[in-house]
Structure 1
Amino acid sequence: MSPSDARADAPLIWILAGEASGDVLGARLMAALRTRRPDLRFAGVGGPRMQEQGLRSLFPMHELAVMGLVEILPRIRSLSRRLDDAVRDIERTRPALVVTIDSPGFALRLLRRIAPLAIPRAHYVAPQVWAWREHRVREFPGLWERLLVLLPFEEAFFRRHGLDARFVGHPVLQSGANTGDAAAFRKRHDLSHDAPIVILMPGSRRSEAPRLLPVFGRMLSLLRQRIPNVVPVIPVSPVVAKTVLNATARWPTQPIIVTEVNDKHDAFAAASAALTKSGTSTLELALAGVPMAVTYRVNPLTAAIARRLIRVPYVAMVNLLAERGLVPELLQGDCRPDVLADAVERLITDRQTAEAQRAGFQTLLEGLRGPGGAIPADAAAEEILSMLDQPGA
């Protein structure tokens, strides 16, 4: 049954994603749900991937893609209007279930606002309160009926606080990041077989890329003085492709900008090293076996506040899961062109360093499989359907 064939009286799931990674999760979840229940209907907010699955987004998803304690301030009024829009739509459509995906700043406010409607609610991707501001977990009871978590240690963490959390596995395992074709990438972009390829990942949000790209550009100039034939590749979501194109227009060496998922995975297969912002991108690169350094820079005030609140020893997800400094973390003051160039050069030229990272990646990825080895989207879909089957849903 195609999305447009769903019956008007079929169960409606209202689903929200606020950024590119959530859009991918939402699309996989919708596909897994429809495989099991072809009659399901969907409404809510999502990006191009979820729209391919039949969602008609209430408003453009990119309006929610903002982060940072300071960066969000100019957007408060418009975000508040969009929150009102979402609440009114849920009141009007009266779905059988509401699913919010990540984006806690917006999603948790929405879940709280719709609590009086007595509609079952699930939140997919746990707020990372185990990393910072752990006291916020006291605000969560009553926000959802079920929490779907991606990391194995999160289930026990939230259950200690009396919250029903279910580990469903990490969706990076479904990303296909390890299925790329290096030769195809080099042929497609007319690259020699021995040119070192460096992946640069400045982030999927409009607020991230402009902050990191100038530093990446200066880093690249230094790196090419040492390795003249290095080729920069920037995989980005379509949401920020124009931003990246404009920001790199004056770089001495024009990067290859890829927006297609298959092209990105081919680039991973061909890459010698990567420089990436912290986040899920580190797990994608780990799955593809790309040695990496992690960097990030935010507004100094945001950084000062975060330093006082963070309670974990690492920022990079691969380091948290490995429980050691498997990859370099070059943050804030260390997010400098010379420091970054040194780190990337070492990854390209020091085989022992690169291989040590790859061995560590294989170990940590084993712990990210869903219960019983299930595909993460399938495990998440089963949890959602079990909620639909409960009396009153």
Structure 2
Amino acid sequence: MIKNLREVRPGTRFRGFGGERMQAAGCQLDYELTQLAVVGFVEVAPKLREFFRVADVASDVFDKRPPSAVVLVDFPGFNWHIAKRAKQRGIPVFYYLPPQLWAWGSWRVKKLKRYVDHVFCNLPFEADWYAERNVSSEYVGHPFFDEVADQELDSRFVSSQRQRSGGLRVAVLPGSRSREVNHIWPMQLEIIRELARRHPTAKFSVACLRANHKEYCQRLLCEADRRLPIEFHVGKTSEIAEAADCALMKSGSTSLEMMARGTPTVVVYHVGRLMYSIAKTLTDIKEFSLPNIIAGKTIMPEFLAVGSTTQAVEQATAAMDRLLSDRDERDAQRRQLQKVYQSVGGTGASRRTALRINALLDGEANQDDANLARAA
């Protein structure tokens, strides 16, 4: 987004909260926000004080050097506070990758209407949902597809994955957050053990985001697991997905990459009983994987473990077994994924959003000029 805004609005300066990639794009970081990445109340509660402290940093920035606009990306629990502070000071607020209010907590749309001037929607049905609730919004596409299209794969690694395997290749994605990996990998390891027994020629490549995730996954291997046809890699998620015949993954945005690459996938997730009880009262959807939500039906089989993992592990194992046993099953899911991708998978979301933000800001500037002229 920063790169695109620089192109359409040369000379623009950026500051905010984010990570090293934003900083590399030219953003002055007021806080390294990636260290506060959390999911669910259990993770949020211990960091509440720090969240409010960082929000106060935003207030100080807004008071001393008010920006022309505030662009929020995802992270609604924190960004509500940033939006409120910006709105109180008359700063335009735009939301890119907005919270999925249509999925859960739909009453929060009242808060969004108070604090956000315009929403850039990433899923085709979102704009209609917001419009029905009188929220200024438009559909621009999903930036994840830009990343997939622009990413240069390590072709040598992809080739080595394909050549090394004598049987089917299975990509295993345990997640990007340590807490998730701690819950999901033990489930996936159980599934791998059984699949390796049923399909002795299958090969499993585990895509870890960080070195400490790889170390954790390897520590859980028992002596008997040393004979499993399994490899661990760091920073090769896209290559592993590209080379795979099918995938076993944790629920998350990477499911969109699986869809873009046409990789048949089974999805697993785990929540505690308390969190599940709370979520049931807030949720308005049946599926939790984005390709399934977009399609309005189950394409990627998905299995949620609530407390005990036994049933979800058994069900996911059966679904993976079908993919590994039946090429027609894999091809059928691949065709469905490609069909959905063709309907939503266009690139240029961030570029379109940058152009619209530029136009909206110019429109406000022109309106201010007109008001001054009338006053004169």
With the shorter chain as reference, the TM-score category is 0.7 to 0.9
Give 1:57 shift. 2.2
**Structure 2 gap segments, 5+ residues each:** 369-376
Counterpart residue number, 1:166: 138
What whole-Å deviation, never above 9, does each CA across 1:121-145 have from its counterpart, x for those lacking one? Answer: 1111121111122222122212111
Larger CA Rg, structure 1 vs 2:
2
Counterpart residue number, 1:272: 245
Is 2:280 the counterpart of 1:310?
no
SS in 1 for 2:114: coil
How far apart, in 2, do the equivalents of 1:93 and 1:173 lie? 34
What whole-Å deviation, never above 9, does each CA across 1:343-377 have from its counterpart, x for those lacking one? Answer: 2222122111111111111221122256xxx6211
The residue correspondences of 1:227-306 to structure 2 (distance < 5 A) are 227-237=199-209, 240-251=210-221, 252=225, 253=228, 255-259=231-235, 263-306=236-279
SS in 2 for 1:91: helix
How far apart, in 2, do the equivalents of 1:103 and 1:63 lie? 13
What whole-Å deviation, never above 9, does each CA across 1:215-271 have from its counterpart, x for those lacking one? Answer: 22222222222223433333344xx44234334334235532231xxx433222210
Give 1:118 shift. 0.8
CA contact (8 A) 2:195 2:317 kept: yes
TM-score normalized by structure 1?
0.83
How far apart, in 2, do the equivalents of 1:67 and 1:250 lie? 24
How far apart, in 1, do the equivalents of 2:5 and 2:353 lie? 9
How far apart, in 1, do the equivalents of 2:150 and 2:298 lie? 23
SS in 1 for 2:42: coil
Is 2:92 the counterpart of 1:138?
no
TM-score normalized by structure 2?
0.87
Give 1:156 shift. 1.0
CA contact (8 A) 1:369 1:375 kept: no
Q: Report the more deviating stretch, 191-200 or 132-141.
A: 191-200
Counterpart residue number, 1:213: 185
Counterpart residue number, 2:14: 42
Give 1:304 shift. 1.4
How far apart, in 2, do the equivalents of 1:201 and 1:91 lie? 43
SS in 2 for 1:326: coil
Task: Give the structure with the higher percent helix.
Answer: 2
Distance 1:180 1:53, change over 3 A: closer
How far apart, in 1, do the equivalents of 2:340 and 2:83 lie? 33
Distance 1:129 1:310, change over 3 A: same
**Identity level (%):** 28
The residue correspondences of 1:1-393 to structure 2 (distance < 5 A) are 29-176=1-148, 184-188=156-160, 192-237=164-209, 240-251=210-221, 252=225, 253=228, 255-259=231-235, 263-333=236-306, 336-369=312-345, 375-392=348-365
What whole-Å deviation, never above 9, does each CA across 1:188-238 have from its counterpart, x for those lacking one? Answer: 56952424322222222333222212222222222222223433333344x
What count of residue pairs does the alignment treat as equivalent? 357
SS in 1 for 2:43: coil
Distance 1:330 1:78, change over 3 A: same
SS in 1 for 2:29: coil
How far apart, in 1, do the equivalents of 2:192 and 2:45 lie? 32
Aligned residues: CA RMSD: 2.4
Distance 1:241 1:196, change over 3 A: same
